[in-house]
């Protein structure tokens, strides 16, 4: 019978101003030929992350990343619209200043 060995490890890093604290965890497992490697590796990830105290839900993290990218895209669009409105207001204000500071300006045109 052939066995396969898999392993997974993570480190939790907590940087404080006065110290650098790291907790490491690495677990290995011997698999039988009938065991699924991906499923076993997924179980190892869960156990290691539970020991280190971090979440390693890749699908949830990818979903969060996509939603954050969409939110950033929407914010950038809003910023661009506001920038265009700002430029429009600046040009309008400049026109008003040119008219009111003009010595030949007559507020009563008749």
Q: What is the mean pLDDT of residues 2-9?
A: 70
Burial pattern 20-53, b for ≥16 Cβ within 10 A else e, equals eeeeebeeebebeeeeeeeebeeebbeebbeebe
- DSSP string for 61-100: HHHHHHHHHHHHHHHHHHHHHHHHHHHHHHHHHHHHHHHH
Nearest Cα residue to 1 out of 29, 28, 35: 35
Q: What is the mean pLDDT of residues 97-105?
A: 77
Q: What is the mean pLDDT of residues 39-62?
A: 77
pLDDT at 3 (0 to 100):
57
pLDDT at 56 (0 to 100):
62
Residue 1 in this model has a pLDDT that exceeds 50 = no
Residue 43 in this model has a pLDDT that exceeds 90 = no
């Amino acid at each position: 019978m052939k066995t396969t060995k898999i392993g997974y490890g993570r480190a939790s890093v907590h940087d404080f101003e006065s110290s650098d604290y790291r907790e490491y965890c690495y677990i290995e497992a011997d698999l039988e030929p009938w065991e699924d490697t991906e499923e076993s590796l997924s179980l190892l990830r869960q156990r290691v992350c539970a020991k280190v105290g971090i979440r390693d839900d890749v699908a949830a993290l990818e979903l969060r990343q996509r939603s954050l990218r969409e939110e950033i895209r929407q914010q950038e669009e809003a910023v661009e619209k506001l920038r265009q409105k700002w430029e429009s207001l600046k040009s309008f204000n400049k026109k008003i200043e040119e008219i009111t500071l003009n010595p030949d300006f007559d507020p009563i045109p008749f």
